[in-house]
Amino acid sequence: MKVIADFKEKANRVRKAIARHGHNVEHNLYHYLAMGSLKRKLIFYSFPKLQGVLASREKDRYDIFPEGVLAPKQKRIALLSRVIGKMLSQKSANKVVVEVNEITRKGLLEWVKASKGYRALSTNFILHWPIFDMALFDAKLPGRRWKKMRNIRNRFIRQHRIRMVDSRKVPKRMLEGIVSNWLRKRKHSDTVEKEYYYNIIASGFKGFRFAKTLYVDGEPCTITAGWDVPNGQKHYYSAIGILNYRHPGLGEFANLMDLLHLKKKGYRLVDFGGSDKSLLAFKSKFRPTSVYKTYSFSIVRRK
């Protein structure tokens, strides 16, 4: 195991590891790099054959990047447990926070129980991730089940002048204004790394496949952006969906336009991102095909 903190070496190694072993929606080099800050130091735990674990440290806390193990499926728990053990072997580290799916959670809890030197704390939060099978998504929104969404779409088109543009062509200060309004007015309880969004805008959405902004009545009001899931087949992750809440129905219309755009581009699956229950209720308006869960919890030394 090699611990890599140097930016250039880390970025090069992570890029190659994601190309070889990337499998999760959040496996994106630039997404990972944007998470870093003066307080939050990114670390990559490198193993042979381009395997590794994406992580960060802030004060006495380590975080494993969501499903951050880049390795064949049968080796992920072993690598993850080695890295957690390495982290907690340092006296200055009090806990390791992980966010994992149900299968990885089960394997980690079994390892913790068998280790006798560690213990897992109660779940911090559970996120729900809606997935859309685009073969089942009809862009015409037919029938009674789509009536409310059709009404929102039609009313929004009737009442406003609308233009969709590449977010990279929108002045950055205007995009930052959308983020600022969104952060101030959002009501959901899931955690938000606000510095992440400013980093993404500053980079010009580097590493993103698409970044779209809706101009409504001449004002930029939304940002929807994402990328192709590594080693997936026409699988897209809609990583960012934010708005300034300026108009009723804006959120529904922006996300609907995003789905229609991705349908036209031929995607097979679209992941709409992790959500608390209130945000999941909003995303359920678009009729996801399935929903999976991830669990966040901490692992500490047993006293």
pLDDT tens for 242-293 read 999 999 999 999 999 999 999 999 999 999 999 999 999 999 999 999 999 9
Distance (Å, whole) CA 212 – CA 225: 6
Q: Is it the case that residue 7 has pLDDT exceeding 90?
A: no
Q: What is the structure's pLDDT at 189?
A: 53
Chain segment 77-96, per-residue pLDDT in tens: 999 999 999 999 998 999 99
Mean pLDDT for all residues in the chain: 94
Distance (Å, whole) CA 228 – CA 239: 10
DSSP letter (8 states) at residue 58: E
The whole-angstrom distance between residue 83's C-alpha and the CA centroid of its chain comes to 22
List of domains in the chain: 2-120 (3.40.630), 129-293 (3.40.630.30)
DSSP letter (8 states) at residue 124: -
Distance (Å, whole) CA 179 – CA 196: 11
Q: What is the structure's pLDDT at 191?
A: 58
Chain segment 140-163, per-residue pLDDT in tens: 999 999 999 999 999 999 999 999
Q: Distance between terminal CA atoms of the chain?
A: 27
Query: Where is 68: in which H helix or E strand?
Result: strand 61-70
